[in-house]
Amino acid sequence: MSVFKLRRPKSQWASAEVPEFYETYYMKLHGPDGKQVLRNTHATDKALAGKIEAAARRKIREESWQGLLDALEPTKARRTLATLGDIETAYLLEGVQIVKQDKAARDNVASLFRVVAWAQGLWTAAGEGMKGIKPGTRVHDAARIRKLSSGVLTGELVRAYFRERQGGKELDVSSRKAENRSINSTLNHARQVFSKRARAYKLGKLQLPDLDGFMQEPMLPAAESEAQPLTGPEWDAMVKAAGKLADRELALVNQLLRVTGMRSAELVALHESWLVQEGKGWAIEIRDRKEKRAKPEEGEKEGKVLLPGFSQKGVKNRKVPVPVDLVATLRSRKGFLIGPKMTMTDRSDLVNRTHNAWLKGMIGGLGEKTQGNHRLRDTVCSALWSLYGPSTAQEAAGHVDPKTTSKHYAKRMATVPAGMVKELEPWAPGNVVPMRGRKAG
């Protein structure tokens, strides 16, 4: 391996006696005429740089001079290929919406940057003012990653990412591990940036490298996720603790999650317009909704949003029965039903962070990447499956295919705790109203 670092101009050294070098490694190759070619590997890790050099030499042996040109193309950095920053800008540019929510697009780019950060060791410490992240926490170095050529997106980079996520030593591509689900999920989101639709509508004007290696490297084998419903003692302890909460908004979050089986994202978006009368009771109607704005003649400021838009996960619309003791509370509120006076960010933090941490403090997993809120969804589905059968559990989950519910969300419970049975009574047959065939409005 002959990769090396180039020395910076002496004028850039902090001390005239101590040489300083550029951060990335370079490689030196020779063309058929004996001419020497120097190229940047854009790798800060020497082992990865060596693999890039080896791949280039292999191309030369297999495909001659043209192979060399192709091999060196990714190393020309910003002169020909788009940088990762160029890709980020184009992908997030407004004009054509290819994912349901802007946040999903930003998350996909963040996942791409994290894959690169893991593979090439490009990390930095979070500074002050980064919401939800403690100062000093390790985060991907977006500034350095944006400068990289898209030529770094190879199968080798994916394998380096896998290895680092698995501990940085031996790469295990044979064992089915639960932790591989998270590793695969991040890579899958990163690959969404280069979906067929994204390339056609967002990245069409950019010069991209051959992405086959990056896109086609097989995922790691992962153990299937299974339902993890709360046990009877865990459920009883949670309900008791929720009843004593001084923060009644937090208590409401807990009650809604444990009696409806709603997703956290649905609860954050829950709006008064979602409440509908259903027979003698009330239900929460969950479906895609278009954003509605006021008309000038309605006495509102032109352009003001009256009803917020919402894009649900999956395609099955459903109605969720509201327990009698919650109807008055929810109907008395205007606008968003959780934290009506909160910002969307604060509302999301309440549901996804505060409640999640509070719950895991009782059921375990605090400080770990384990399920919290989602276990309440598992609990509702498992209890309904055991009490009223598969179709009720499927309706509560909002799945098109009942196999999804049975495989990941519902587990047969030998005994459903009495308190759970009581709280889930609104789901009894006759109260669940399917919405099959209805188009989202």
Tens of pLDDT along 273-327? 999 998 888 999 999 888 877 665 554 444 566 788 888 876 688 899 999 889 9
How far is CA 318 from each of CA 172, 194, 342, 433, 439, rounded to the nearest angstrom? Answer: 41, 32, 27, 7, 11
Residue 349: what pLDDT?
93
Query: Tokens at residue 109, please?
Result: 């780019």
Q: How far is CA 324 from CA 267, 280, 381, in A?
A: 18, 10, 20
pLDDT of residue 403: 74
Q: What is the pLDDT of residue 22?
A: 80
CA distance 88 to 86: 5
- The answer on pLDDT for 434 being more than 50 is no
Per DSSP, the three-state class of 25 is coil
Instruction: For residue range 196-215, list pLDDT tens digits in order.
Output: 999 999 999 998 988 999 99
CA atoms within 13 A on the CB side of 233: 2
Q: Which range (7-11, 120-124, 218-222) has the least confidence?
A: 7-11
Res. 166 pLDDT band, cuts 50 70 90: very high
The whole model's pTM is what?
0.63
Which pLDDT score, from 0 to 100, does residue 441 have?
35
Q: How far apart are CA 405 and CA 390, in angstroms?
A: 8
CA nearest 203: which of 159, 153, 142?
A: 153
pLDDT of 437 above 50:
no
> Coil, strand or helix: which one is 432?
coil
How far apart CA 386 and CA 406 sit, in angstroms, is 11
Alpha carbon distance 73, 210 (integer Å): 10
Tokens of 235: 């459920």
Locate tokens 């609990």: which residue? 379
Contact yes or no for 252/355 (Cβ under 8 A): no
